[in-house]
Structure 1
Amino acid sequence: MKPVVSVVIPAHNEEAVVPAGLDLLLAGTEPGEFDVVVVANGCSDGTATAAARPGVRVLETPAAGKAGALRLGDAACRAFPRVYLDADVRLDADSVRALARAAGRPGVLACAPVPEWDLRGTGPVIRRVHRVHDRLIAPTRALAGVGVYVLNERGHERAFPVPDVISDDGWVDGCFTGSERVVVTGARSVVRPPRTVRAHLRRRIRVRQGNRQLAALGRQGRPLRLGALGRLLVAREVGPLDAACYLAVLAMDRLLTRLRRGPAGWGTDAGSRHRDPTAAS
């Protein structure tokens, strides 16, 4: 059977999560329906062994790095459209089919699913922070921050090869405008956000570096405005305690940013796989 879609999954030390993700992805598919390529990059665990199964090709490279793994997996693909899926994000076969159909619509070059957030084990403060943040970015969310994006052949020509950036989804999102990129309501990805305030703050450090990289390449994000938080409060989409938690953590984030940059304004941020689909800092 000729595959109807290719799926590229870059995986760095993802032995614990990749088996369940592949099982969900392939459940209910016909043999050969999906062309799935897992790229185990710079792994020191059993990611490659855990990913091996019928219907999945596993590539291994000693070089760690998501962008490089995406390029390697992309070069091995056999079909369009192509799904680029984070190893720790869940996506089922029906969602893949819905995304593939959407990528075939006239004028569409790229698409992404609607994210569902797995908040199990999340602390009460960060749960409220996430509730606010998700509602703030929802109106402008497209391809970034949901762990999955899909390109048809024309979209691929515009976005690939992905450069060596932290935020590959931010790069790809910036390659398209307006109706060229769509969010497919019939598709869902399940994403696990940071579980604690500390983890959230660490992620924010990495997000800022990713956003600065994209800005240096001429890709500007969409900044958040606190006025939008006021509108959410008026509409009762979030409560006062939600907003207070969000603002308190935001203040901590900005204080840490100043301390890390020091008097000369130089940062010490580290890399990340994911980009926040805003340029807030």
Structure 2
Amino acid sequence: MKPVVSVVIPAHNEEAVVPAGLDLLLAGAAPGEFDVVVVANGCSDGTARAAARPGVRVLETPAAGKAGALRLGDAACRAFPRVYLDADVRLDAESVRLLVEAAGRPGVLACAPVPVWDLRGTGPVVRRVHRVHDRLIAPSRALAGVGVYVLNERGHERAFPVPDVISDDGWVDGCFTGSERVVVTEARSVVRPPRTVRAHLRRRIRVRQGNRQLAALGRQGSPLRLGALGRLLAAREVGPLDAACYLAVLAMDRLLTRLRRGRAGWGTDAGSRHRDPTAAS
């Protein structure tokens, strides 16, 4: 069977999470329907071994880096459209088919699913911070921040090769405007955010660094305004305690940003790479 879609999964030390994601992706797929390429990049664990199974091609490179892994996997793809999927994000076969259908609509070049946030194991403060943040960014969410984006052949010509940036989804999102990129409301990705305040702050460091990289490349995003938080409170979409937790962590985030300014390094975003409690041990 000729594949109808290619799926690229960059994976850096993802031994704990990649098996369950692949099992879910392939469980509802016909043999040969999906061309799945896992790129184990700079791994010091058993990611490549954990990803090996029928229907999956595993590529290995000693160079760690998501953008490079995306380019390597992309070069090995056999079909359009192409799904670019984070290794710790869950996506089922039916959602892939819905995304493929959307990518074939006239005028559409890129699409993404709606994220479902898996908050199991997260602390109460992080839950409240996430509740506020999710509602703040929901009106402008498109391809970035959901762990999955899909490009058809015309969209691929515009967005690839992805440059060496932290925020590959932010780069791709900025390649399209208006109706060229769509959110497929029937498709779902399951995303596991950081569990602790510390992990959340580490991730925020990477987000800020990624945003600075994009700004240097002329891709300026829209900053969040505190007035939007007031509107959420007035509409009772979030509560006062939610807002207080969000503002407290935001203050910590900004303080750490000032203290770290000028230091090298991206920080480590391992907060969502814990083993799936529903997976077999």
TM-score normalised by the chain length of structure 2: 0.93
Distance between the aligned counterparts of 1:222 and 1:280, measured in 2?
A: 41
> Residues 261, 91 of structure 1: CA spacing in aligned structure 2 closer, same or farther, 3 A cutoff?
same
Deviation track 1:67-121 (CA, whole Å, cap 9, x = no partner) reads 0000000000000000000000000000000000000000000000000001001
After TM superposition, give the deviation of residue 260 of structure 1 in Å: 2.3
Q: Provide the identity percentage.
A: 95
Distance between the aligned counterparts of 1:126 and 1:81, measured in 2?
A: 36
Distance between the aligned counterparts of 1:31 and 1:278, measured in 2?
A: 25
Contact in 1 for aligned 2:17/2:274 (Cα 8 Å): no
> Residues 268, 11 of structure 1: CA spacing in aligned structure 2 closer, same or farther, 3 A cutoff?
closer
After TM superposition, give the deviation of residue 274 of structure 1 in Å: 16
After TM superposition, give the deviation of residue 259 of structure 1 in Å: 2.2
Contact in 1 for aligned 2:142/2:182 (Cα 8 Å): yes
Deviation track 1:138-164 (CA, whole Å, cap 9, x = no partner) reads 000000000000000000000000000
After TM superposition, give the deviation of residue 236 of structure 1 in Å: 0.4
After TM superposition, give the deviation of residue 261 of structure 1 in Å: 2.6
| Structure 2 portions without partners, runs of 5+ | none
After TM superposition, give the deviation of residue 269 of structure 1 in Å: 12
Contact in 2 for aligned 1:21/1:89 (Cα 8 Å): yes
> Residues 155, 119 of structure 1: CA spacing in aligned structure 2 closer, same or farther, 3 A cutoff?
same
Contact in 1 for aligned 2:39/2:73 (Cα 8 Å): yes
Contact in 2 for aligned 1:208/1:269 (Cα 8 Å): no
> Residues 276, 186 of structure 1: CA spacing in aligned structure 2 closer, same or farther, 3 A cutoff?
same
After TM superposition, give the deviation of residue 254 of structure 1 in Å: 1.2
Aligned counterpart, 1:216: 216
Distance between the aligned counterparts of 1:195 and 1:20, measured in 2?
A: 19
Query: SS at the partner of 1:58?
Result: strand
> Residues 200, 278 of structure 1: CA spacing in aligned structure 2 closer, same or farther, 3 A cutoff?
farther
Distance between the aligned counterparts of 2:233 and 2:191, measured in 1?
A: 25
Distance between the aligned counterparts of 1:204 and 1:34, measured in 2?
A: 34
Distance between the aligned counterparts of 1:227 and 1:147, measured in 2?
A: 28
Alignment of 1:96 onto 2:88: no
> Residues 29, 273 of structure 1: CA spacing in aligned structure 2 closer, same or farther, 3 A cutoff?
closer
> Residues 154, 80 of structure 1: CA spacing in aligned structure 2 closer, same or farther, 3 A cutoff?
same
Distance between the aligned counterparts of 1:280 and 1:58, measured in 2?
A: 22
Aligned counterpart, 1:255: 255
Distance between the aligned counterparts of 1:146 and 1:111, measured in 2?
A: 11
Contact in 1 for aligned 2:8/2:74 (Cα 8 Å): yes
Distance between the aligned counterparts of 2:16 and 2:280, measured in 1?
A: 32
Aligned counterpart, 1:54: 54
Contact in 2 for aligned 1:8/1:85 (Cα 8 Å): yes
> Residues 232, 165 of structure 1: CA spacing in aligned structure 2 closer, same or farther, 3 A cutoff?
same
> Residues 270, 31 of structure 1: CA spacing in aligned structure 2 closer, same or farther, 3 A cutoff?
closer
After TM superposition, give the deviation of residue 253 of structure 1 in Å: 1.1
Contact in 1 for aligned 2:136/2:229 (Cα 8 Å): yes
Contact in 1 for aligned 2:122/2:194 (Cα 8 Å): yes
Contact in 2 for aligned 1:99/1:112 (Cα 8 Å): yes
Distance between the aligned counterparts of 1:24 and 1:180, measured in 2?
A: 29
> Residues 244, 276 of structure 1: CA spacing in aligned structure 2 closer, same or farther, 3 A cutoff?
farther
Contact in 1 for aligned 2:109/2:155 (Cα 8 Å): yes
Aligned length: 281
Contact in 1 for aligned 2:81/2:151 (Cα 8 Å): yes
Query: SS at the partner of 1:163?
Result: coil
Deviation track 1:172-221 (CA, whole Å, cap 9, x = no partner) reads 00000000000001110000111111111111111110000000000011
Distance between the aligned counterparts of 1:252 and 1:134, measured in 2?
A: 19
After TM superposition, give the deviation of residue 32 of structure 1 in Å: 0.3
Deviation track 1:249-276 (CA, whole Å, cap 9, x = no partner) reads 1111112222223899999999999999
Deviation track 1:30-75 (CA, whole Å, cap 9, x = no partner) reads 1100000000111111111111111111111111110000000000
Distance between the aligned counterparts of 1:247 and 1:145, measured in 2?
A: 21
Distance between the aligned counterparts of 1:280 and 1:162, measured in 2?
A: 35
Distance between the aligned counterparts of 1:120 and 1:278, measured in 2?
A: 11
Distance between the aligned counterparts of 2:200 and 2:260, measured in 1?
A: 16
Aligned counterpart, 2:236: 236
Contact in 1 for aligned 2:41/2:60 (Cα 8 Å): yes
> Residues 55, 280 of structure 1: CA spacing in aligned structure 2 closer, same or farther, 3 A cutoff?
closer
Contact in 1 for aligned 2:81/2:150 (Cα 8 Å): yes
